[in-house]
Structure 1
């Protein structure tokens, strides 16, 4: 099974499986900047449209197959089944080999066994979504993390934080004038970053549902990155470049990371008026280098160009 870096996700755009332009996005005729796509059969599809959505997904996979597979430079492709029963059906589709994996909605200890039994295809990577009331309980998250590591760890690219559903558990909705960190998510996100992050899982940030306040999206992204989140869900194409620009690494952080992982660097040294300790900061440095590989470096600091350099593509 091919492994994927969670930093390759970037902005992950959700599109209903009923959309007619999915093939254009997969083959980069539309949204060529997109790094990852989720074809949604769950919340984005009404009950009466499920059959149509499944037929449309089947047609999409057949069209991909007819073209000889997805393009190497196209977005990563995931499918979000409606439930474990639907996942079991999709798991057996021959052409499901043309997707990278499944996004698992509303995962908890109560339904983990059902999902495990449904997703037996070892080539399908998984992105479980944490979006049920159990997420507010750190003990439950420790237990879920341990269970995931026991059986599915090698298939999980990242855990997704479902901010809207988690707010819905409390009967709340985001204030359009503030970031998610001015809500109870200011407890949940740091807790998950600690509990799940310390178990080795990468986490992606919740959707920003307000389209008229890109400045708030940028503020929220700064906080997402400060908490170690590796990507963010997008609900509209206008958010893609904003998210991916924020995920680029600063030249200062890149140079510092290179020094920290260098075997010839002293154990403790000063860089840009900050103490750096190779043993303590080594994991941070490797994460910075991996993020730079996939998301690029803030080019404005180097050449004034608005185009990023993605180190993962530098040798192509």
Structure 2
């Protein structure tokens, strides 16, 4: 029986290559005990000649998995590679898969392979569908056929910028670019309105703590939760930023417990029904990450 997970619990998801020397210590929480989730990467993180070594390392490492391990996901190379991984010894010890380059071409095949399993799924949209509203709508409908398995929808932020021939500096948000903001805005509107959650994209400047903080806060403002991280220094920063304020928590609890449909709250109008989901999210964040002192 798989661990029950909500997307709120994932926090910062550290991507590490399958051949990483610290894979076992990370999974056993000897290293980075504060890490909540990780992705073992067979795609971008490995050359072809390293693939067999990756298999062997992951098989031996999965033996140390336990209920206290971070939530563990694997990113295969493609559909055929996912089939191979599903037959790998110890694969039942992971929590799910990130499906790279998820598209209208391969999405049905990906989902078919996983439909009789209890693995969680995080499709990653990285291709030309990002720029086509009609195709995004089609992808949404496809993903909704397996909604009960979908933790988060991820998107390739750097892939998006590459296709637009753009690159941002460390002090720029992707929302500062007209095209980038429009693309992600469409993604948020289409998928979140269908009840699907979306992860924040990677922040590549791993030595810039202040820039990372700004990026996470902008994610939260735009309704994105969960974050691809590429350096362990980002773990504690993210966990701290995901805490809620006492005021946010108190307001959320008042909305959830109120017997009034509409009422005044700290100089603002509060509507119990329309604000229920947001309030539930605030309470869940407080339970997982805590309340800011």
- Counterpart CA distance in 1 for 2:279 and 2:188 is 17
Aligned to 2:79: 84
Counterparts of 1:211 and 1:21, CA distance in 2 = 19
Structure 2 gap segments, 5+ residues each: none
The 8 Å contact of residues 126 and 158 in structure 1, kept in 2 or not, is answered as: yes
Q: Give the counterpart of 1:194 among 189, 198, 206.
A: 189
For the pair 1:231 / 2:226, whether they are aligned, the reply is: yes
**Equivalent in 212, 215, 219 of residue 210 of structure 2:** 215
1:283 counterpart residue number:
277
Aligned to 1:309: none
Structure 1 residues without counterparts, runs of 5 or longer: 301-316
Q: Deviations over 1:173-224 (max 9, x none)?
A: 2223312222332222222111100111111100100023221211111110
1:55-204 equivalent positions in 2, closer than 5 A: 55-61=56-62, 63-64=63-64, 69-70=65-66, 72-150=67-145, 152-183=146-177, 184-204=179-199
Once the two structures are TM-superposed, the CA of residue 121 in structure 1 deviates from its matched residue by 4.6
TM-score (norm 1): 0.88
From 260, 265, 269, give the equivalent of 2:263: 269
Distance of 1:98 and 1:49 partners within structure 2: 23
* Inter-partner Cα distance in structure 1 for 2:237 and 2:128: 30
Counterpart of 1:167 in 2: which secondary structure? Answer: helix
Compared with structure 1, are the counterparts of its residues 4 and 16 closer, same or farther at alpha carbon in structure 2 (3 Å cutoff)? same
Q: Is the 8 A contact 2:59 2:89 kept in 1?
A: no
What are the Cα deviations for residues 75-100 of structure 1, in whole angstroms up to 9, with x where unaligned?
10001011111100111234111100
Equivalent pair of 1:122/1:155 in contact (CA under 8 Å)? no
How far does residue 118 in structure 1 lie from its aligned partner after superposition? 3.1
**How far 1:128 moved relative to its partner?**
0.7
Q: Distance in 2 between matches of 1:197 and 1:261?
A: 21
Distance in 2, Cα, partners of 1:193 & 1:10: 19
Between the aligned partners of 1:251 and 1:73, the Cα distance in structure 2 is: 29
> The residue matched to 1:129 in structure 2 has which SS?
strand
User: Partner of 1:255: helix, strand, or coil?
Assistant: helix
Asked whether the equivalents of residues 203 and 230 of structure 1 are also in contact (C-alpha less than 8 Å), the reply is yes
Question: Aligned partners of 2:180, 2:19: CA distance in 1, in Å?
Answer: 31
Q: CA deviation at 1:162?
A: 1.5
Distance 1:48 1:99 in 2: 24
- 161 and 47 in structure 1: CA distance in 2 versus 1, 3 angstrom threshold: same
Contact 2:258/2:272 (<8 A) preserved: no
CA contact (8 A) 1:10 1:35 kept: yes
What is the root-mean-square deviation of aligned Cα atoms in Å? 1.5
